[in-house]
Amino acid sequence: MSKNIIAIDLGSNSIRFLKMDCKTKKTISTFHKMVKTADGLAITGRISYPALDRIIVAINEAKEQMDFSDAKVKAVTTEAIRQAVNGQEILDGIANNTGVEFEIIDGDDEARYALIATKNRLKLLGESPKSFMIADIGGGSTELIFSHGDRTISKSFKIGIVTLTQSFRGIGEIANAIPALMNEMRLFCNEVYSKDGRVEKFIAMAGTPTTIASMKIGMTYTTYDAEKIHGTLLTRVDLLEQLKALLSMSVEQRSKMVGVGREDLIASGILIYEEIFDIGGFDSSMVIDDGVREGVALSEC
């Protein structure tokens, strides 16, 4: 077994790297870059060549910043590549240009990795809820994961912030469409509640929850600090206040707050997030900055 692991998670909007010391389970370094993998996917059904170029550039940048030579690399990718008709061609292009070979994982694996990361983070935060629900709001899909002691029930839904944003014209259209688009999620949640009862805690991960949490505690995209995000509590009022704040900002201000090219995506993400509050009947949500890449690293270690 390698002493170090580099876990790479290529999502629909960004690519995230984590180098971990397997002995101590401590993070050695991280790297994160927006690559817009799913840009245009909702319309063309394909990953574009400019997106492929952005991914290759990001991997080569990561290699300059973190030493790949003393670590085992485990790279996974999710919904965007799963959906794309040219997914394998894109992965071959990445491998040929960077030497990194990605494995396409399904929604069940995504949920499993998210759960591993969450349980680890809860332990570090000194939290031990008897039951909880995780919402992993991604670019191309959203996973709901229910944990009742030893029992886990999860499902992946094909609704994500990138594909949603690209399928409608503006926030008003998205808001009108959300209840119908997320009805399957509501039915799933009701079914879980009827069998296992309600859960104690609602935990949210991925770009939208972490961005809203960072805005709430006064950070911008450049001053973002993951350690300050873990355990932050958000209410529905927080979501609506931050959405209102975002919509009232100039494009420049908004880009500074959430990152260039993410402004419209975060608004869509907030609408998905708010609907999940409603679906699960929650008053508040705990945010963590961990996700699939942390779960991959921990499980490989």
Question: Has residue 113 been placed in a domain?
Answer: no
**pLDDT for the residue 251:** 77
- Across the range 97-106, mean pLDDT stands at 94
Alpha-carbon gap, residue 51 to 190, rounded angstroms = 38
Whether residue 45 sits in one domain with residue 167: no
Four-point Cα dihedral 171, 172, 174, 175, nearest 10 = 110
Whether residue 147 sits in one domain with residue 250: yes
Question: Has residue 62 been placed in a domain?
Answer: yes
Whether residue 126 sits in one domain with residue 98: no
Alpha-carbon gap, residue 174 to 270, rounded angstroms = 11
Q: Which domain covers residue 230, as residue numbers?
A: 118-293
Q: For residue 121, what is the enclosing H or E element?
A: helix 107-124
Write out pLDDT tens, residues 81-94: 988 999 999 999 99
**pLDDT for the residue 138:** 85
Write out pLDDT tens, residues 252-266: 887 777 766 666 778
Q: How confident is the model at residue 274 (pLDDT cuts 50, 70, 90)?
A: very high
CATH of the domain at 180: 3.30.420.150
CATH of the domain at 41: 3.30.420.40
On the question of pLDDT at 234 being above 70, the answer is: yes
- Across the range 237-249, mean pLDDT stands at 85
Q: Among 79, 104, 129, which residue terminates a domain?
A: 104
* Contact between residue 288 and residue 213 where contact means Cβ atoms under 8 Å apart: no
Q: Which two tokens stand for residue 270?
A: 């907030």
Alpha-carbon gap, residue 209 to 289, rounded angstroms = 9
Looking at every residue in the chain, the average pLDDT score rounds to 90
* Contact between residue 152 and residue 196 where contact means Cβ atoms under 8 Å apart: no
The residues that bridge with 133 in the sheet, in sequence order, are 146, 202
Q: Among 56, 82, 104, which residue terminates a domain?
A: 104
Full-model pTM = 0.86
Question: Has residue 111 been placed in a domain?
Answer: no
Question: Has residue 226 been placed in a domain?
Answer: yes
